[in-house]
Each structure stands twice: as structure tokens, then as C-alpha cells.
Amino acid sequence: MRRVLGTPLLVFYGLGVIIGAGIYVLVGSVFAVAGTAAPWSFVLAGVLAALTALSYAELASRFPEAAGAAAYVKAAFGSDRLSQLTGLAVAVVVVVSTASIARGVVGYLQVFLPLPAAPLAGGIVLLFTLIALLDVRESVGLAAAMTLIEIAGLLLVIAAGWPDSAEAGGRFAALAPPGWDVNAWLGVAAGMFLALFAFIGFENMANMAEEARDPERSVPRAILISLGLSTLLYAAVASIAVLDIPLEALTSSPVPLLLIVRNAAWFSSDLFAAIAVISVAGGVLIELVMLARLLYGMAHRGWAPKYLAVIAPRFGTPVRATLCGGLIVLVLTVTLSLEHLVALTSTVTLLVFALVNVALWRLQRRAPRTAGFRIPRALPPLAAAANVALAAASLLV
């Protein structure tokens, strides 16, 4: 594949794949379990994601290829079967999260098109599957433009909900940590499990390393920059939601951020709904682009049918893998609900993250790096333990 992506496009790609349905749609679900402490769920989920992001950053610089996690597991453990299972698990995560995003955009889209959810979401998947067939610079460039709109929408939410200076001090006191309230922190942990969905995507940037001009430098930088910016935006938006909207309204609305914007007389709620449609739907395009690279990388290594390891000469993209991925996503999109999709995505993602961290830990012991991007040896096992702990805690709260 062509090495045409630099750090700026990779950062926009990362922001586009991270920001989306997780904050535009699921913020209400996080508030439902974490209450007014929901901003802390987003912050702590960002910290947990950062631990694993550091591992992905080193692995992507060690192995700049499209197979991603599957290639890392192969290098660490030497097992084709385990690598194949890892690749399939990652593919499941991407497929299910893409279907989740397509489902998530429906609430905002129904503001303009009052049609059933399944055909609306399916139509979005079909449209962006066709766009994903284009040259990677065109598809990622379009995704970058949509990401700018996405970020602008979140900044508008922050501006619309920002309290007046006269009352800001007292209202911001509501954002303090829960203190020693064990039940409150259990709610925060449950919220973390859901909020993690809002951060899923940074790991997909590693699969774009084969198309990066300088993967040793640009991929690690892009992963960390995009994750850091996303965490700041999420914490700010969740905090504004606490300050501006009653908890009952947030937890019951399929379009929670629209509630904040409607309180601002200076901005059109219909315009924001259009921004939200573009923002969330953009995530579908980015995920489909990544899914195609993952399937191509697995097929290239013999872990998926060789039929998928074909690059179209005209576009320089894996057309068969793109069409195959789009078809699978379409089926899930029209058959499953958003809640089931999100829970499945988060659980499988945490387990894959744990395995990838263990893989890096093993590689650091067997083949320590003396140059290039590298992280302390203590971080991968810490991240693996944290991922397993959150997956287990989600079953108890």
C-alpha cells in the first residue's frame, strides 16, 4: 500500500475514529450509571486508554504493518493460531463498533428524516462503504474534514452550556470527586466501562502504519496526541452536561447533547443536529477504512482468505476487504440494538487490550529496544491488569 499519510492526517484520523457516537450519543448512558460523577468516568477511562495507547505506540513503531494486534501477538508468542484469534477478535470489535456508530447517528438523523432506525443506519453503512473504496488520501482526507466539524460541534456544546460568571463558582463545585463514597465510585467504574467505548479507535491507528510516511515517528505521536485531545474534550462536555441539564433528562434522551444546545438562544438546534449527523457518521467511514486494512493485513499473512489480500490498481486500496467488511457491518447494523452493540464492543476490546499489553511486555524482555519509541517495562503489565479488572468489574456493578 502507498505510504502517503503524515502526522497531521493521522491525528485527524485518530480524532475522527475516537470522537463520535461515544460522546454524542452515549453520554446519557454513562450518566445513568455514574450520576453526576460521570465526568470522572470519562477522565479515568481516558487514563486507562492512555496506558494501553502507549503500548500500541511502541508496537506500531516496532511493527509498522496493517495487521496490527495480530502481528504483535505473533511476534511475541510465535503462535499463528493465537494471532489469528486476536485478529478475529479485533475485527469483531471494529465491526461491532462501526455498527454501533451507525446506530448512534440515527437519533440525530431522525430530526430531519422520521424513518425507522434500521434502514437509516443501513443506508449510512452502504454510502460510506462506497467512499472507503477510494484512494486512502481521499477517504482519510474526507474523514479529516468531518472530524473538524465533529470537534466544532463539541466546542459549540461547551459554549452553549457554559454558566454565567456570576454563578460559575457554585455550579462548578458539583464537579468535585465523590470523596469516600464507595457506591459513587462503583458507579464511576460502571461508567468507565461504557465511557471506554468513547475512546475505542486509538488502537486502530496502528493499522494505518503501513500507509504512514514515517511510522516510527508519526504513528506514536498521532496516537498520543489524538487520545489526549479527545480526553480533554470528553471531560469538558460531560462537565457541561452536569452543569446544564437535569440528570433525568440526560439519561432518557437518545440525543443528549442536543438538549444542551437547545438552551442556547443564539444557536440553532437543527444546525447542531446536522453537525452531529456528520460527526457521528464520519466515524463509520473511518472505521470501515480501518476494518478493510485489518482484513487485508490478516489475509496477507494467511490468517484470513487470500481473496481479501488484493489491492485495486486504480485506487491502491483493498477493495475486496472493504466490501466484505461493509457487508458484515451492514448485517449487524440492521439487526442489533445500540446497547447490545456497545456492551459487546467494550468487553472484547478490554480483553484484546490486555493481550496486546502482555505481548509488548514479553517483547520488551526478549528484545529490548535501545532506540526509537519505547515505554517503561512496568507499564504494559499494569495496563493489562487494569483492563482485566475493569472487564471483571463490569460484571459486578
- Asked if residue 383 has pLDDT above 90, the reply is yes
Read off the C-alpha cell for 149: 466539524
Domain membership of residue 1 (yes or no) is no
Q: Mark out the alpha helices in the chain (DSSP H runs).
A: 7-18, 21-24, 27-34, 38-62, 69-77, 80-104, 106-109, 117-132, 136-161, 165-172, 182-199, 215-244, 247-252, 256-262, 269-300, 319-335, 338-366, 379-393
| Residue 106 confidence (pLDDT) | 83
Q: Which residues pair with 312 in a beta bridge?
A: 317
pLDDT band at 4 (very low <50, low <70, confident <90, very high): low
Read off the CATH number of the domain in which 226 is found. Answer: 1.20.1740.10
**Average model confidence (pLDDT) across the chain:** 81
- For the stretch 273-287, pLDDT in tens is 888 888 777 778 777
Domain membership of residue 319 (yes or no) is yes
Mean pLDDT of 160-179: 64
Mean pLDDT of 16-26: 74
| Residue 55 confidence (pLDDT) | 92
| Residue 5 confidence (pLDDT) | 66
Whole-angstrom Cα distance, residue 151 to residue 258?
Answer: 15
- Asked if residue 21 has pLDDT above 90, the reply is no
| Residue 360 confidence (pLDDT) | 94
Domain membership of residue 2 (yes or no) is no
Higher pLDDT pick, 123 / 294:
123
Domain membership of residue 271 (yes or no) is yes
The angle subtended at Cα 239 by Cα 235 and Cα 245, nearest 5°, is 140
- For the stretch 345-356, pLDDT in tens is 788 888 999 999
- Asked if residue 92 has pLDDT above 70, the reply is yes
Query: Alpha carbon of 320 to those of 132, 287, 302, 308: distances in Å?
Result: 11, 16, 15, 5
At position 313, the amino acid (one-letter code) is P
Domain range for residue 22? 7-393
At position 216, the amino acid (one-letter code) is E
Q: What is the CB-side half-sphere exposure of residue 302 using CA atoms within 13 A?
A: 4
At position 141, the amino acid (one-letter code) is G
| Residue 345 confidence (pLDDT) | 77
- Give the number of domains in the chain: 1
| Residue 354 confidence (pLDDT) | 94
Determine what percent of the chain is predicted with pLDDT higher than 70.
87
- Asked if residue 1 has pLDDT above 70, the reply is no
Query: Alpha carbon of 375 to those of 55, 190, 334, 380: distances in Å?
Result: 7, 29, 42, 9
Read off the C-alpha cell for 305: 482468505
Mean pLDDT of 61-73: 79
| Residue 361 confidence (pLDDT) | 95
Q: Which residues pair with 360 in a beta bridge?
A: none
CB 212 within 8 A of CB 20: no
**How many Cβ atoms are within 10 Å of 314's Cβ, its own excluded?**
10
Mean pLDDT of 377-388: 93
String of b and e for 149-160 (b: at least 16 CB within 10 Å)? bbbebbebbeeb
Running DSSP on this structure, what letter comes out for residue 308?
G
Higher pLDDT pick, 23 / 358:
358
pLDDT band at 377 (very low <50, low <70, confident <90, very high): very high
- Asked if residue 396 has pLDDT above 70, the reply is no
| Residue 382 confidence (pLDDT) | 95
| Residue 339 confidence (pLDDT) | 65
Higher pLDDT pick, 164 / 190:
190
Q: What is the dihedral of CA 121, 127, 130, 134, to 10 degrees?
A: -120
pLDDT band at 42 (very low <50, low <70, confident <90, very high): very high
Domain membership of residue 326 (yes or no) is yes
Whole-angstrom Cα distance, residue 127 to residue 121?
Answer: 10
Whole-angstrom Cα distance, residue 323 to residue 302?
Answer: 19
- Asked if residue 67 has pLDDT above 90, the reply is no
CB 350 within 8 A of CB 387: yes
- Asked if residue 170 has pLDDT above 60, the reply is no
- For the stretch 112-158, pLDDT in tens is 888 888 888 888 899 888 888 876 666 666 767 777 888 888 898 88
Domain membership of residue 109 (yes or no) is yes
Domain membership of residue 87 (yes or no) is yes
Q: Which residues pair with 212 in a beta bridge?
A: 5
**How many Cβ atoms are within 10 Å of 308's Cβ, its own excluded?**
22
Higher pLDDT pick, 320 / 163:
320
Running DSSP on this structure, what letter comes out for residue 163?
P
The angle subtended at Cα 223 by Cα 2 and Cα 45, nearest 5°, is 145
| Residue 381 confidence (pLDDT) | 95
Determine what percent of the chain is predicted with pLDDT higher than 90.
11
Mean pLDDT of 199-226: 77
